[in-house]
Structure 1
Amino acid sequence: MAWVYLIIAGLLEVVWAFSMKQSAGFTKLVPSLITLGTMGVSFALLSLAMKSLPLGTAYTVWTGIGAVGAFIVGVIWLNEGVHPMRVAAAGLIVAGLVLMRLAPST
């Protein structure tokens, strides 16, 4: 169940990053509330996942999902530029997440 919590926490990180962008520096109420709410739930789920997953694994996967997810959201919904180097960087993050998941915890 820890991995489910962790994946949901990572996806919520994408939501709060996007809504933070939409909040225009916390000057718009609804995106600001979405940011704070999803941030709280994301942290709570990360905390639950950390009960049974190693710190390094949990935090790396959480931030990786958030980073790659925010990159994808930025490209699709915010018309941010797609450059081969940025795509390669996102691919390296995903590769790191896969390796982190497959690595034995000692």
Structure 2
Amino acid sequence: MAWLVLVLSGVLETVWAIALEKSDGFSRWLPSSIFGVALVLSMAGLGYALRTIPVGTGYAVWVGIGAAGTAIVGMTMLGESASLPRILSLLLVVAGVVGLKVFH
């Protein structure tokens, strides 16, 4: 259960990162609200998961999912560069996250 919560919390990290960008410095209420709710839920889920998952592993997986998810959304929906080196770098991040889970 902790791993599922950790993965969902990592996805919520992507949500709050994108909402933060869309909030335009907290001047737009809807993205700002989404940011706040997603941030609180993401942190709460991380805290729950770290009850049973070691902090180094849990935090690295959480950050990796959030970073990779944010970069993928940026490339697919926000017009950011989707160059081969960026995609290969993301695959390395994903491989690291999978490795942390497998060798936990």
RMSD over aligned CA atoms reads 0.7
Structure 2 alignment gaps of length 5 or more: none
Once the two structures are superposed, residues 51-104 of structure 1 have per-residue CA deviations (whole angstroms, 9 ceiling, x without a partner) of: 000001100000000011001100111011111111111011011011101114
Quote the Cα distance in structure 1 between the aligned partners of 2:44 and 2:102.
24
Aligned to 1:99: 99
| Cα drift, residue 7 of structure 1 | 0.6
- Provide the C-alpha distance between the structure 2 equivalents of 1:19 and 1:82, rounded to a whole number of angstroms: 21
The answer to whether the aligner puts 1:74 opposite 2:64 as a matched pair is no
> After TM superposition, which residue ranges in structure 1, 4 or more long, deviate above 6 angstroms?
none
Identity %: 40
CA distance in 2, matches of 1:38, 1:73: 16
Gaps of 5+ in 1: none
Distance in 2, matches of 1:28 and 1:68, equals 25
- 2: CA distance, partners of 1:45 / 1:51: 10
Aligned to 2:29: 29
Shift of 1:26: 1.0
Query: What are the within-5 Å matches in structure 2 for residues 40-79 of structure 1?
Result: 40-79=40-79
TM-score (ref. length: structure 2): 0.97
- Aligned partner of 1:83: which letter? S
Q: TM-score, normalised by structure 1?
A: 0.95
